[in-house]
Chain A
Amino acid sequence: MTQRAFSLLKQSDGHSITFDAMASPCEVLIDSDDPLLASEVAQAVTQEVWRIEDKFSRYDPNSLCSQINHGDGQAISIDNETYLLLNFAQQCYELSDGLFDISSGVLGRVWQFDGSDKIPSAAQVVEVLVRVGWPRIDYDEQQIIMPKAMEIDFGGIGKEYAVDRAILSVAALTDEPVLVNLGGDLCASAPRHNGQPWQVGIEHPGLVDKPSMMVSLYRGALATSGDAKRFLLSQGKRYSHILNAKTGWPIEQAPASITVAAQHCVEAGVFATLAMLQGENAEDFLQAQQIKHWVIRHPSE
Chain B
Amino acid sequence: MQLTHRSKPKVLNVKAALSLATCALLGVNPVAAQGEGQSTEPWSFDTAVLFYSEADRVSALEAMVSATKEFDDQHFLNLKLTLDTLTGASANGAVAQPHAQTFTRPSGQGQYQITPGDTPLDDTFKDTRVQINGQWTQPLGQHLTGSVGGHLSKEFDYLSLGFNANVGYDFNQKNTTATLGFSHFKDTFSPIGGIPKPFASMGIGDSNAPNWDGDFAATRLTDQDDKNTTDILVGLTQVINRRMVTQFNYSYSVVDGYQTDPFKILSVVDGQGISQDLVYESRPDKRTKHSVFAQTKYHFGDSILDLSYRYMWDDWQIKSHTLDSRLRIKLDGGYTIEPHVRLYSQTAAQFYQPFLHQGQLMASFASADYRIGAMDTYTLGLKMGMRLKDGNKLAVRLEYYSQRPKDSGFTQPGALAEQDLYPGVDAVILQMSYSF
Contact = CB atoms under 8 A, between A and B. Distances in A.
A220 B21 contact: no
B37 to A, nearest CB: 6
B18 A95 contact: yes
A36 B1 contact: no
A263 B19 contact: yes
Contact of A165 (B26, B73, B334): B26
Interface string A19-33: 000000000000001
A71 interface: no
A45 B433 CA distance: 28
Contact of B299 (A39, A164, A267, A289): A39
Given A35-B242, A91-B21, A289 B12 contact: yes
Contact of B38 (A218, A252, A267, A279): A218
Contacts of B387: 172
A264 B12 contact: no
B5 A284 contact: yes
A66 interface: no
Interface residues of A, number: 60
Contact of A164 (B6, B26, B38, B41): B26
Contacts of B70: 193
A149 interface: no
A8 interface: yes
> Interface centre among A92, A99, A195, A219, by most B CB within 10 Å?
A195
Contacts of B44: 175
B363 interface: no
Interface stretch (B28-36, B90-98, B257-265): B28-36
Nearest to B242: A35
A139 interface: no
A274 interface: yes
A280 B74 contact: no
A88 interface: yes
B21 A194 contact: no
B8 to A, nearest CB: 6
A161 B72 CA distance: 31
Interface in A264-286: 264, 266-267, 270-271, 274, 277-281, 284-285
Nearest to B142: A12
Given A35-B239, A266-B22, A95 B74 contact: no
A156 interface: no
Contact of A95 (B2, B3, B14, B302): B14
B115 interface: no
B1 to A, nearest CB: 5
A270 B74 contact: no
Given A39-B299, A40-B299, A285-B11, A161 B1 contact: no
Contacts of A85: 25
A247 interface: yes
A266 B25 contact: yes
A38 interface: yes
A37 to B, nearest CB: 9
B241 interface: yes
A27 B299 CA distance: 23
Interface string A179-198: 00000000000110111010
Interface string B161-192: 00000000010011000000000000000000
A290 B214 CA distance: 85
A130 interface: no
B18 A267 contact: yes
A244 B4 CA distance: 13
A56 B128 CA distance: 60
Interface string A110-144: 00000000000000000000000000000000000
A251 B25 CA distance: 28
Contacts of A33: 170, 174
Given A39-B243, A193-B74, A168 B26 contact: yes
A298 interface: no
A51 to B, nearest CB: 13
Q: How large is the interface on B (under 10, 10 to 19, 20 to 34, 35 or more residues)?
A: 35 or more
Interface in B230-252: 239, 241-243, 245
A36 B245 contact: yes
A43 B64 CA distance: 34
A55 to B, nearest CB: 15
B8 A36 contact: no
A270 B18 contact: yes
Nearest to B34: A219
A10 B3 contact: no
B17 interface: yes
A180 B36 CA distance: 19
A125 B272 CA distance: 112
A65 B302 CA distance: 30
Contacts of B6: 285
Contact of B39 (A40, A191, A267): A191
Contact of A279 (B2, B8, B72, B302): B2
A7 B334 CA distance: 25
A252 B18 contact: no
A292 interface: yes
A277 B5 CA distance: 11
B24 interface: yes
B297 interface: yes
A288 interface: yes
Contacts of B33: 220, 262-263
Contacts of A239: none
Contacts of B302: 43
Given A195-B39, A289-B15, A281 B3 contact: yes
Contacts of A8: 242
Nearest to A217: B36
Interface in A80-106: 84-85, 87-88, 91-92, 95, 97, 99
26 contacts: A33-B170, A36-B245, A36-B304, A39-B242, A39-B243, A87-B24, A88-B24, A161-B25, A164-B26, A165-B26, A171-B391, A218-B38, A220-B34, A252-B1, A262-B33, A264-B22, A264-B26, A266-B22, A267-B19, A271-B18, A274-B14, A279-B3, A281-B5, A285-B11, A288-B12, A289-B11
A-B residue pairs, 10 tightest by C-beta: A91-B21, A35-B242, A195-B72, A88-B25, A36-B299, A191-B39, A267-B22, A288-B11, A247-B1, A172-B334
Given A164-B26, A252-B1, 10 more contacts: A35-B239, A161-B25, A168-B26, A218-B36, A220-B33, A274-B14, A277-B3, A281-B3, A289-B11, A289-B14
